[in-house]
Amino acid sequence: MKKGSKMLISILVILIIITGGTYYLLIPKERVTQNTNNKIITEQDLLQNASIDEFQLVKNPLRLKGKVSISSDEFQNIIYTIMNEYNVEDFKHANVDINNSKVKIMYPYKVLGFIDSQLEVNLIPDVVENKLNIVLTDAKLGKINISDKILKEGLKKYREKIPFEVKNNTIIIDKNDIYPTTLNKVEITEKDILIDLEIQANNLIDFISKYNINVKQ
């Protein structure tokens, strides 16, 4: 065998190994399917949910204060609703898993249009000065870790449609974008996201009646 042929075969073997290794890395350990059960969810749906604690009537300014518990299914619906409102197809049918004080988002994704891979990222929500801060951690494409820098660059295209800021690996949603709701605290249990919040309304009597809210005097 000629020297040139041997070199060509060696290059082909190396390319096959690299291609196979890359393909392996792009395949997730646990594959999820696209979630097609998500639906539009409204503020009324959340407030009428049985997972709401009693609200208190607070003055100056007049508002309702209480806690709302959001399940993984409800959070999936919230993501779907936001993506639908801003006409963003990505993550519209994401899967959500709440565990160990983190919210894991998983979404099937095709690399180069034909390799079935998966995007995965953990969310850690917090409230800083009434702004919702969502720290993104352990982001992966298949088995490949995604750096904070790449993640930040990837989020830029969504800022044209969805109102949020990005600082390092943190998404920041301003308090003005969630008014008349004010967030005080967000914590994650083994099954739910607990949100301590306040709600202002032009007519609290109508608001309480409409959403059938149990108010503690």
Q: Is residue 10 part of a domain?
A: no
User: What's the whole-number mean pLDDT along residues 62-73?
Assistant: 83
Residue 36 pLDDT > 50: yes
Say which residues have a Cβ less than 8 Å from residue 9's Cβ, sequence separation at least 6.
none
Secondary structure of residue 194 in the 3-state scheme: strand
Written as six digits, the tokens of 76 are 């999936």
Residue 67 pLDDT > 80: yes
Map 69-137 to HEC letters.
Answer: EEEHHHHHHHHHHHHHHCCCCCCCCCEEEEECCEEEEEEEEEECCCEEEEEEEEEEEEEECCEEEEEEE
- pLDDT digit string, tens, across residues 197-212: 888 776 666 666 666 6
Per-residue model confidence (pLDDT) at position 94: 86
How many domains does the chain fold into? Answer: 1
Q: Is residue 13 part of a domain?
A: no
Q: What is this structure's pTM?
A: 0.78
Secondary structure of residue 184 in the 3-state scheme: strand
Q: Is residue 11 part of a domain?
A: no
What is the overall mean pLDDT for the chain?
A: 80
Predicted confidence band of residue 50 (pLDDT cuts 50, 70, 90): very low
Q: Is residue 21 part of a domain?
A: no
Q: Is residue 123 part of a domain?
A: yes
Per-residue model confidence (pLDDT) at position 133: 92
User: What's the whole-number mean pLDDT along residues 27-46?
Assistant: 78
Q: Is residue 7 part of a domain?
A: no
In angstroms, the CA 43 to CA 199 distance is 11
User: What's the whole-number mean pLDDT along residues 127-145?
Assistant: 88
For 36, phi and psi rounded to 5 degrees? -105, 5
Q: Is residue 14 part of a domain?
A: no
Domain that holds residue 41: 31-216
Q: Which amino acid is at 192?
A: D
Residue 30 pLDDT > 70: yes
Q: Is residue 196 part of a domain?
A: yes
User: What's the whole-number mean pLDDT along residues 147-166?
Assistant: 82
